[in-house]
């Protein structure tokens, strides 16, 4: 084989060997996210890429919508059907493509020239050259490492977004269930107010009560009706927000919810060491650390190569003279760092590196604060629910029973009985609010800690 052809074939073979391992399957890049979400939340997440699996996800959503939903069901629908989440998943494809690109050599440069003499014998002088940038080959492992770090950071960010969506859906769903129960209590209050108003009207018509007393009962009924209307508006708002989170439209929005909030667990998970647990497993903090590492690697690369040529093109050139003689030999082309030695880019990277460090520190402070706030709020809400169930509600039941006995003995009026019953219903309404707030704060604490109140093992990178 002629030497030039041997050189070209060696160059091409080396390039193929180096780039042959650059491809990364999107499924492999997405698998750690699926595994971590399953481990942390017990939920399944799917990336819609117009495959057979997409039909399975759609079937699962339809199946879930057939029965009254709970908070976990709503979160599962969102993970399979939320279009904003599917758009976020495309970041994996983008980062994976960047990783592949980092493992590719630049295309070789081919050049040719023909020179025609203006006198006999008029033979053409032809010259051909092929050159390849070998600086890219030298720096390829470092660039690939940076791209791999960026891919892992994207995986961590997306995992955090998935877990945050789960928490947001649960919060809204518990709010919706609480609003359903509050609506029921308000309707019972209106029934009691209506009975009192009807009695007041009959007594007013017969002249047994004053205009002021009659108007007081009518005003109380009107106020309760306004409260019910406001509660129904809030319920519509919350339901439509859930529809958006779950990605539902058309007939899919006719879903029903379990009418009652879940019962409180007998005990909460240990609330000790939650701050350190969050620092170790919050995926957004892991992503921030990776971002700092990535910028640091780029800064080190640029600093260590600032005095090297910006490009090193090595190739071969062959020229055929008019007399038939061929001259062949290697070529070397260097882009010398004379005018640009990174005076602007290196300080910029250094500033970005410090910025990423400060942002990571700020995030860690915010995480600690979120955990403390959610932890203390959860404890207070549980104490409040317990107080309602053990103290307030039993007292109200005794009060209603005692008033009923007095009414039967003609010691109190019907208005006193109605008022006592209304107070009991108002207490139950406040109890439902505390019950709802407990589950909302528990969901917020899970999100603040990183999706799970127990330590989880993050899946290794592929």
Confidence of residue 261 (pLDDT cuts 50, 70, 90): very high
**Listed range (247-251, 412-416, 430-434) with the worst mean pLDDT:** 412-416
pLDDT of residue 456: 66
Secondary structure, 3-state, the chain? CCHHHHHHHHHHHHHHHHHCCCCCCHHHHHHHHHHHHHHHHCCCCCCCCCCHHHHHHHHHHHHHCCCCECHHHHHHHHHHHCHHHHHHHHHHHHHHHHHHHHCCCCCCEEEEEEECCCCCCCCCEEEEEEEEECHHHHHHHHHHHHHHHHHHHHHHHHHHHHHHHHHHHHHHHHHHHHHHHHHHHHHHHHHHHHHHHHHHHHHHHCCCCCHHHHHHHHHHHHHHHHHHHHHHHHHHHHHHHHHHHHCCCHHHHHCCECCCCCCCCCCCCCCCCHHHHHHHHCHHHHHHHHHHHHHHHHHHHHHHCCCCCCEEEEEEEEEECCCCCEEEEEEEEEECCCCCCCCCHHHHHHHHHHHHHHHHHHHHHHHHHHHHHHHHHHHHHHHHHHHHHHHHHHHHHHHHHHHHHHHHCCCCCHHHHHHHHHHHHHHHHHHHHHHHHHHHHHHHHHHHHCCCCCCCCCCCCC
Instruction: Tell whether 175 is covered by a domain.
Output: yes
Confidence of residue 335 (pLDDT cuts 50, 70, 90): confident
Q: Quick one: average pLDDT of 234-259?
A: 94
Instruction: Tell whether 300 is covered by a domain.
Output: yes
Q: Quick one: average pLDDT of 256-273?
A: 89
Instruction: Tell whether 457 is covered by a domain.
Output: no
Instruction: Tell whether 324 is covered by a domain.
Output: yes
Q: What does pLDDT average to over the chain? A: 84
Confidence of residue 120 (pLDDT cuts 50, 70, 90): low
Q: What CATH number corresponds to the domain at position 143?
A: 1.20.1600.10
Instruction: Tell whether 462 is covered by a domain.
Output: no
Confidence of residue 121 (pLDDT cuts 50, 70, 90): low
**Overall number of domains in the chain:** 1
- Which residue would you say has higher pLDDT here, 8 or 97? 97
Report CA-CA distances (Å) from 212 to 110, 198, 201, 209: 100, 15, 12, 8
Confidence of residue 126 (pLDDT cuts 50, 70, 90): confident
- Could you report the per-residue pLDDT of 374-414, keeping only the tens digit for each? 999 999 999 999 999 898 888 887 887 787 677 667 777 76
- Which residue would you say has higher pLDDT here, 22 or 301? 301
pLDDT of residue 118: 67
The CA-CA-CA angle for residues 251, 255, 245, to 5°, reads 90
Instruction: Tell whether 459 is covered by a domain.
Output: no
Residue 110, C-beta contacts closer than 8 angstroms, at least 6 positions apart = 128, 129, 130
Q: Taking 50 as the threshold, does the pLDDT of residue 462 lie above it? A: no
Percentage of the residues of the chain whose pLDDT score is greater than 90? 39
**Domain of residue 17, residue span:** 3-449
pLDDT of residue 303: 87
Distance, CA of 175 to CA of 437 (rounded, Å): 8
Instruction: Tell whether 208 is covered by a domain.
Output: yes
pLDDT of residue 122: 64
Instruction: Tell whether 426 is covered by a domain.
Output: yes
Q: Taking 70 as the threshold, does the pLDDT of residue 269 lie above it? A: yes
């Amino acid at each position: 084989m002629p030497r030039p052809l041997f050189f070209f074939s060696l160059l091409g073979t080396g390039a193929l060997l180096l780039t042959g391992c650059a491809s990364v399957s999107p499924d492999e890049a997405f698998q750690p996210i699926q595994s971590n979400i399953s481990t942390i939340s017990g939920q399944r997440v799917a990336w819609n890429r117009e495959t057979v699996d997409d039909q399975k996800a759609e079937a699962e959503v339809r199946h879930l919508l057939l029965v009254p939903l709970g908070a976990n069901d709503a979160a599962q629908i969102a993970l399979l059907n939320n279009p904003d989440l599917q758009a976020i998943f495309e970041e994996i494809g983008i980062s994976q493509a960047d990783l592949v690109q980092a493992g590719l050599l630049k295309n070789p440069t081919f050049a040719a020239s023909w020179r025609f003499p203006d006198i006999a014998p008029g033979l053409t002088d032809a010259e051909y050259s092929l050159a390849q940038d070998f600086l890219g080959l030298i720096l390829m492992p470092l660039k690939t490492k940076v791209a791999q770090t960026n891919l892992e950071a994207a995986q961590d960010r997306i995992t955090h977004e998935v877990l945050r969506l789960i928490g947001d859906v649960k919060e809204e769903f518990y709010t919706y269930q609480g609003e359903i129960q509050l609506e029921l209590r308000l309707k019972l209050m209106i029934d009691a107010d209506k009975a009192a108003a009807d009695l007041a009207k009959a007594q007013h018509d017969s002249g047994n009560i004053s205009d002021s007393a009659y108007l007081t009962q009518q005003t109380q009924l009107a106020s309760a009706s306004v409260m019910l209307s406001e509660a129904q508006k809030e319920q519509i708002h919350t339901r439509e927000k859930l529809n958006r989170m779950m990605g539902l439209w058309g007939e899919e929005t006719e879903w029903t919810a379990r009418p009652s909030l879940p019962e409180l667990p007998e005990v909460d998970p240990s609330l000790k060491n939650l701050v350190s647990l969050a620092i170790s497993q919050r995926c957004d903090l892991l992503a921030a650390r990776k971002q700092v590492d990535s910028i640091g690697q780029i800064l080190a690369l640029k600093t260590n190569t600032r005095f090297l040529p910006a490009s090193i093109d090595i190739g071969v050139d062959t020229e055929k003279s008019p007399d038939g003689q061929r001259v062949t030999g290697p070529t070397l082309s260097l882009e010398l760092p004379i005018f640009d030695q990174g005076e602007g880019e290196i300080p910029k990277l250094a500033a970005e590196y410090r910025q990423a460090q400060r942002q990571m520190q700020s995030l860690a402070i915010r995480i600690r604060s979120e955990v403390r706030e959610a932890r203390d709020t959860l404890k207070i809400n549980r104490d409040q629910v317990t107080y309602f169930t053990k103290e307030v509600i039993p007292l109200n039941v005794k009060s209603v029973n005692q008033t009923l006995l007095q009414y039967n003995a003609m010691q109190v009026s019907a208005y006193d009985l109605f008022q006592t019953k209304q107070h009991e219903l108002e207490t139950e309404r406040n109890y439902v609010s505390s019950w709802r707030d407990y589950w909302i704060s528990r969901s917020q604490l899970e999100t603040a800690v990183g999706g799970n109140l127990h330590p989880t093992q993050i899946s290794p990178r592929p």
